[in-house]
Structure 1
């Protein structure tokens, strides 16, 4: 076999293989682009899910108002139902269903900002510059340990079933997403609450990072704070 004949055969083989690959790709993609340029971003999915959750929440609130109205109307002629509703009202405070006002402490945490040159510190990793789950949990644990009677985060009442979660540089709480700053308020003896915050090891570590990398941390006592009522299920 001459050299020129060998090259012709090789070119023919390559063309056949390329044709098979193109045909297979078209069959798999059903004629569509495999890697679409306008692929949906995760942030868009989150926003769409949040919008749907808000719509459902509005319907839930309307139905809950109707249920309350029907219960109150029925209670006027049903002594047993009236007694049950009285028991529910008595438990409302402990369940977080009523707003509370009193002295307390507010803690604010936020990610590190960019410097004047638009850059972050050169000796910092991305994880050094954001508020993490353990940082939020340290604040919450310290305030509960300090005798907090009621607590809120991002103006949402925290109850026994609340589970704030940091996902990347956002916070997920009660089905809603929030960006920093994260604000936690607690009603209780301000002196005890601040002492508990100062004694929490996780908060001491966060403050060290705040000093080094510019993360934000402030805590302030107040004679009067209002913690909203819990409105979830």
Structure 2
């Protein structure tokens, strides 16, 4: 009888210790299983790399690789163009029609921008606002503090309108077919990326080009932003400046005959 009472007391103690299983206790194994599957999938996807690492260094590397590729392609193009010229000059000594066409093409090179030129002119410099300044107005946005594509185009168009005979941007000769594009706060020109300040140099009458810049609505708007947001703008008269020859491709992708 005593032994039976001891057993009953032991069973009651076990019953008190082993509380009824709740819903959460039943879900714990399932949650652990799901977590294990998630960790396994993540490890296989990452394949030894960090999934949430900063991708900016990789992006910078891609930009540098593409820039190197463009530079190599341009160098190859220059070498091929020089080889074609050498072969053409060689044939011109013995072939009359080729000699005539070669001389005609050479006469067009200065007007087409394929020869370097020098003379008096004007340099325009556009720059972003300083990164840190305590004198900015309230509510200023990041876009207010950088040079945009329209700002560069306004200066370029005004210089052409002012009688510019030749022009370069960032030391690169530009033609009527050259496209000026901005990517963020960088300039994309002939496959290369340039950072501000953006320097535009034109050969021509400095006074006429300065007058054209002053009459340009786009340039006036940029000058207003210079005063308001501390952007950079400068005009410099050049007594004798050299504009390099155009070294890019002159092939047209499309053309339209005007009536």
Contact 1:108–1:181 at 8 Å: present in 2 too?
Answer: yes
Choose 218-227 or 119-128, whichever is displaced more: 119-128
From 34, 39, 43, the counterpart of 2:60: 43
Asked if residue 131 in structure 1 is aligned to residue 139 in structure 2, the reply is no
From 82, 104, 108, the counterpart of 2:125: 108
Taking the aligned partners of 1:203 and 1:197, their CA distance within structure 2 comes to: 6
User: TM-score, with normalisation over the residues of structure 2?
Assistant: 0.80
Taking the aligned partners of 2:54 and 2:24, their CA distance within structure 1 comes to: 42
Aligned residue pairs total 229
Which residue is equivalent to 1:53? 70
CA-based RMSD: 2.1
CA deviation profile, 1:178-200 (whole Å, cap 9, x unmatched) = 11111111112222111110011
Instruction: For 1:193-232, list aligned pairs within 5 A.
Output: 193-232=209-248
From 128, 136, 140, the counterpart of 1:121: 136
Q: Which runs of 5+ in 1 are unaligned?
A: none
Of structures 1 and 2, the larger Rg is shown by 2
Offset at 1:95?
1.3
Which residue is equivalent to 1:11? 28
Offset at 1:98?
1.1
Asked if residue 168 in structure 1 is aligned to residue 184 in structure 2, the reply is yes
From 178, 182, 196, the counterpart of 2:194: 178
Taking the aligned partners of 2:58 and 2:110, their CA distance within structure 1 comes to: 42
Q: Which has the higher contact order (CA 8 A, sep 6+)?
A: 1
Offset at 1:37?
2.8
Offset at 1:16?
2.8
Q: Which runs of 5+ in 2 are unaligned?
A: 1-18, 250-259
User: TM-score, with normalisation over the residues of structure 1?
Assistant: 0.89
Taking the aligned partners of 1:35 and 1:223, their CA distance within structure 2 comes to: 57
SS in structure 1 at match of 2:94: coil
Choose 60-69 or 141-150, whichever is displaced more: 60-69
Offset at 1:23?
4.1
Asked if residue 65 in structure 1 is aligned to residue 82 in structure 2, the reply is yes
Offset at 1:12?
2.1
Asked if residue 191 in structure 1 is aligned to residue 207 in structure 2, the reply is yes
Contact 1:113–1:120 at 8 Å: present in 2 too?
Answer: no
SS in structure 2 at match of 1:4: coil
CA deviation profile, 1:104-143 (whole Å, cap 9, x unmatched) = 211011111144xx76836322111111111001101111
